[in-house]
């Protein structure tokens, strides 16, 4: 190891180093830099990471089915990105804060977001599904990359108040082309903001391959902004956990931001409205299925002496129950009251909107009166 | 005449513009290989090549900013903003650069940029996917703002927008993309109605009902419904929102004496506000009643299950018609 490959805090900065602790076939590889960050992860802990991934995969499939059946307006599936999301979110402390995009259902799961809360927005029933301060996770962001700046500002505030809590923000490979993300890198770096930029490079921004956004590994961008970049196997939950823990630790110590590029793959469509057959091949998908995030963990568990088949079955049953709960939760989401269309536009009374609200109430009342008249 | 959908008509218009001028270049996210998320540019990359139909990195500011550079170089960029609510990162380039460069260069630099924006609601979409931001642009000097409402207009107007030496915000009502209509693909642009001229799409004598984009069909339906009550509505499809074709609107209002304006966008500072004020100034002595606006509420676009309580529909338009007609309506007995 060349000392120039490390920054002042000892963090590995060689961006072309690809952190992988578990190979696709389930072999544990040693890594001089990152092993220490997961030294505490025993068989039981690894099993818990598998459980998280298996359950969110099942929930995700159920949500896709619910959309197909007309119970949800839209769903952006996370299939394929379970390790990237679970590995990073399980590295967080409860008092850390998350600013995500719209695909981080597994992160929401780790933050304790319930099934109905998770689906509310996608059912079109309310503007948001959960209170950000309850779960310490902002409402999902649809505008590409906007949340990176929000995370940076939140982290700046956190540091100024003397907290050692960190902030993590999730975005995709496509978002790295947006001005907001690059501006976030500048602010975070200039102010040593305790923020982790977690980029899930899932290879595709709808139909656009990552090569259109960048001619080099995204993690290398970090160098130009004056922060370390880590390129990690995003389908290796252990490596993601290690990389995120190291970046969070750097943030807590006041040493500033880190960019993590988790190399992963979106196995499904961009959303249920997308048809990926128009822009990518079955062979490519098959290739990435070989690098599945879940099977490698089962293989490693089996090699560690665990009854992997039995464990897989046990978790699958639990996942089936969770999916059933999700399905029940959908129909429990109340339809919004018509007049709630005026709620929460302002924090304070607003005379203009009050007048508009009154007018609409009168308008709706006309129909009630008309009905009364018919009776 | 060929029967085709609104989306196909835009596609055909873009194809003809690309074929007719090699300086026309299409740019946007997912417009090439995928053909756009609404397939408006379907097949055009294969036909004209990747330097004419360009999949861009994900940056709306980048798309508009590079379009400015291309325009400097003599190109006629036609950019697609994937959804209405995604346009704001490009707002700075549009308002501070695209709109002003002709002025700032004292006429030496032209910005023949067409900015295509699928806009409006009614499709049960997620947030930021159903907005009507046209008034921001109509407020901005240097921009031309249009909205088409049917396949025939879409086919012609997109070509006119591209041919214009001024920048054009081109709003396409996404809820109408699948509606079919007759399109004359052989029509000469020289003979077509100019892009800045409104269309009277239904004749009437009692009320002038002005709208544009996705609500034109709703307004026509309202006119049919009102006729059953003995009210004769003239429907005007504004087509151009900046500048507004006041000649057509005024001629109608002078005959009917009553004006109702409807749009999906909120009321405050909207196109309807501008219309109501201008028509009142110009036609005051002809008005039998104060102009009425029937608009979306002044709220962020609501979640899908509430959009029917936000968007003007036939009943809300007729309530506005009742108001200008002095018939019982939702504001009866209320001091306006």
Q: pLDDT value at position B203? A: 98
CATH of the domain at B265: 3.40.50.920
Strands (E), chain B: 2-5, 24-28, 53-55, 76-80, 114-119, 144-147, 168-173, 180-183, 199-202, 207-211, 233-237, 240-242, 259-266, 292-296
Domain boundary among B153, B173, B191: B191
Please say if the pLDDT value at position A285 is more than 60. Answer: yes
Q: pLDDT value at position A10? A: 42
Residue B247 lies in a domain: yes
Contact of A345 with chain B, judged by CB distance below 8 Å, is answered with yes
Q: Copy the structure tokens of residue A322.
A: 């969770």
> What is the distance in angstroms between the Cα of A148 and the nearest Cα belonging to chain B?
14
- Give yes or no: residues B151 and B281 share one domain: no
d(CA B140, CA A175): 29
Looking at every residue in chain B, the average pLDDT score rounds to 97
Residue B119 lies in a domain: yes
**Could you tell me if B325 and B287 are in contact, meaning their C-beta atoms sit under 8 angstroms apart?**
no
- Give yes or no: residues B156 and B211 share one domain: no
Assigned CATH class of A3-332: alpha beta
Question: For residue B303, what are the domain limits?
Answer: 199-325
- Give yes or no: residues B181 and B205 share one domain: no
**Could you tell me if B91 and B136 are in contact, meaning their C-beta atoms sit under 8 angstroms apart?**
yes
Q: What is the mean pLDDT of residues A62-73?
A: 97
B139 is annotated as an active-site residue: no
Domain boundary among B141, B158, B191: B191
Q: pLDDT value at position A368? A: 86
Quick check: helix, strand or coil at residue B318? helix
Contact of B269 with chain A, judged by CB distance below 8 Å, is answered with no
Q: Which residues pair with B114 in a beta bridge?
A: B78, B168
- Give yes or no: residues B16 and B124 share one domain: yes
CATH of the domain at B85: 3.40.50.970
- Give yes or no: residues B147 and B220 share one domain: no
Please say if the pLDDT value at position A369 is more than 90. Answer: no
Residue with tokens 């960048």: A214
ipTM above 0.90, yes or no: yes
> What is the distance in angstroms between the Cα of B262 and the nearest Cα belonging to chain A?
15
Q: Catalytic: which of A250, A266, A291, A327?
A: A266
What residues contact residue B208 under an 8 Å CB cut-off, 6+ apart?
B233, B234, B236, B249, B252, B253, B255, B256, B258, B259, B260
**Dihedral angle sign, alpha carbons of residues A99, A101, A107, A112:** positive
Q: Copy the structure tokens of residue A98.
A: 């998350």
pLDDT in tens, B258-286: 999 999 999 999 999 999 999 999 999 99
Please say if the pLDDT value at position B11 is more than 90. Answer: yes
- Please give the full DSSP string across B37-92, using - where no structure is assigned: TT-TTTTHHHHH-TTTEEEPPS-HHHHHHHHHHHHHTT-EEEEE-SSGGG-GGGHH
Q: What is the mean pLDDT of residues A35-43?
A: 98
- Give yes or no: residues B212 and B174 share one domain: no
**pLDDT cut 70: percent of chain B above it:** 99
Domain boundary among B191, B213, B233: B191
Please say if the pLDDT value at position A4 is more than 90. Answer: no
* Structural domain spans, chain A: 3-332, 338-374
Please say if the pLDDT value at position A68 is more than 70. Answer: yes
Residue B87 lies in a domain: yes
- Give yes or no: residues B241 and B297 share one domain: yes
Q: pLDDT value at position A371? A: 77
- Give yes or no: residues B74 and B169 share one domain: yes
**Could you tell me if A237 and A297 are in contact, meaning their C-beta atoms sit under 8 angstroms apart?**
yes
Residue B336 lies in a domain: no
Please say if the pLDDT value at position A375 is more than 70. Answer: no
**Could you tell me if B240 and B198 are in contact, meaning their C-beta atoms sit under 8 angstroms apart?**
yes
Strands (E), B245-323: 259-266, 292-296
- Chain A contacts of B32, Cβ < 8 Å? 207
Quick check: helix, strand or coil at residue B199? strand
Q: pLDDT value at position B334? A: 83
| Total count of domains within chain B | 2
d(CA B140, CA B94): 9
- Chain B contacts of A149, Cβ < 8 Å? none
**pLDDT cut 90: percent of chain A above it:** 92
- In Å, what is the CA distance from B107 to each residue of A194, B97, B102, B163? 49, 14, 5, 17
Q: pLDDT value at position A374? A: 64
Please say if the pLDDT value at position A16 is more than 80. Answer: no
pLDDT in tens, B193-233: 999 999 999 999 999 999 999 999 999 999 999 999 999 99
Q: pLDDT value at position A3? A: 43
**Could you tell me if B135 and B270 are in contact, meaning their C-beta atoms sit under 8 angstroms apart?**
yes
CB spacing of B125 vs A279 below 8 angstroms:
no
């Amino acid at each position: 190891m060349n000392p120039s490959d490390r920054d002042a805090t000892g963090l590995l900065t060689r961006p072309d180093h690809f952190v992988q602790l578990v190979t696709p076939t389930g072999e544990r590889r040693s890594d001089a830099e990152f092993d220490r960050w997961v030294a505490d992860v025993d068989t039981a802990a690894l099993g818990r990471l598998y459980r998280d991934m298996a359950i969110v995969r099942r929930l995700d499939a159920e949500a896709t089915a619910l959309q197909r059946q007309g119970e949800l307006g839209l769903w952006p599936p996370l299939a394929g990105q379970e390790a990237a999301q679970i590995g990073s979110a399980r590295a967080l402390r409860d008092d850390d804060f998350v600013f995500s995009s719209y695909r981080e259902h597994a992160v929401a799961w780790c933050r304790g977001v319930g099934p109905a809360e998770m689906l509310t927005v996608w059912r079109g029933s309310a503007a948001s599904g959960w209170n950000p301060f309850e779960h310490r996770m902002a409402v999902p962001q649809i505008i590409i990359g906007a949340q990176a700046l929000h995370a940076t500002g939140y982290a700046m505030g956190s540091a100024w108040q003397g907290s050692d809590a960190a902030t993590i923000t999730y975005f995709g490979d496509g978002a790295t082309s947006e001005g907001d993300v690059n501006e976030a890198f500048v602010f975070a770096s200039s102010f040593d903001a305790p923020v982790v930029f977690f980029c899930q490079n899932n290879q595709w921004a709808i139909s656009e391959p990552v090569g259109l956004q960048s001619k080099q590994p995204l993690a290398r961008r970090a160098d130009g902004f004056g922060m370390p970049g880590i390129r990690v196997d995003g389908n290796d939950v252990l490596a993601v956990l290690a990389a995120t823990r190291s970046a969070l630790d750097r943030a807590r110590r006041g040493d500033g931001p880190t960019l993590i590029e988790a190399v992963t793959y979106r196995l499904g469509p961009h959303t249920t409205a997308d048809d990926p057959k128009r822009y990518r091949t079955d062979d490519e998908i098959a290739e990435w299925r070989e690098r599945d995030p879940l099977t490698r963990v089962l293989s490693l568990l089996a090699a560690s002496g665990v009854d992997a088949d039995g464990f897989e079955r046990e978790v699958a049953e639990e996942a089936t129950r969770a999916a059933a709960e999700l399905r029940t939760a959908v129909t429990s989401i109340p339809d919004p009251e018509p007049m709630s269309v005026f709620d929460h536009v302002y924090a304070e009374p607003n005379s203009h909107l009050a007048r508009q609200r009154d007018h609409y109430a009168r308008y709706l009342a006309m129909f009630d009166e008309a009905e009364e008249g018919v009776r | 005449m060929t029967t085709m959908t609104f989306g196909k008509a835009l596609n055909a218009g873009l194809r003809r513009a690309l074929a007719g001028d090699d300086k026309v270049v299409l740019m946007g996210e997912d417009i090439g290989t995928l053909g756009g998320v609404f397939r408006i540019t379907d097949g055009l990359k294969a036909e004209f090549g990747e330097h004419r139909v360009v999949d861009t990195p994900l940056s709306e500011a980048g798309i508009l900013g590079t379009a400015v550079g291309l325009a400097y170089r003599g190109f006629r960029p036609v950019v697609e903003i994937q959804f209405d609510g995604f346009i704001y990162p490009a707002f700075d380039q549009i308002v501070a650069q695209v709109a002003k460069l002709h002025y700032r260069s004292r006429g030496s630099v032209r910005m023949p940029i067409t900015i295509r924006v699928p806009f409006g609601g009614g499709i049960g979409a997620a947030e930021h996917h159903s907005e009507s931001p046209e008034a921001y642009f109509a407020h901005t000097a240097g921009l031309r703002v249009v909205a088409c409402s049917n396949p025939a207009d879409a086919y012609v107007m997109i070509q006119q927008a591209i041919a214009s030496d001024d920048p054009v915000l081109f709003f396409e009502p996404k809820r109408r993309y699948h509606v079919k209509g007759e399109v004359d693909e052989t029509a000469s642009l020289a003979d077509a109605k100019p892009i800045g001229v409104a269309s009277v799409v239904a004749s009437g004598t009692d009320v002038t009902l002005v709208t544009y984009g996705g609500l034109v069909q709703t307004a026509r339906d309202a006119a049919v419904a009102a006729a059953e009550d003995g009210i004769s509505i003239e429907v005007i499809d504004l087509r151009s929102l900046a500048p507004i074709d006041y000649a057509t609107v005024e001629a109608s209002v002078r005959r009917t004496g009553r004006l109702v304006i409807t749009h999906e966008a909120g009321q405050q500072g909207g196109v309807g506000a501008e219309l109501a004020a201008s028509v009142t100034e110009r036609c005051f002595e002809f008005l039998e009643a104060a102009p009425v606006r029937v608009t979306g509420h002044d709220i962020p676009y609501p979640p899908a299950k509430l959009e029917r309580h936000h968007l003007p529909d036939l009943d809300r338009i007729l309530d506005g018609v009742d108001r200008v007609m002095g018939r019982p309506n939702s504001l009866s007995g209320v001091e306006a």
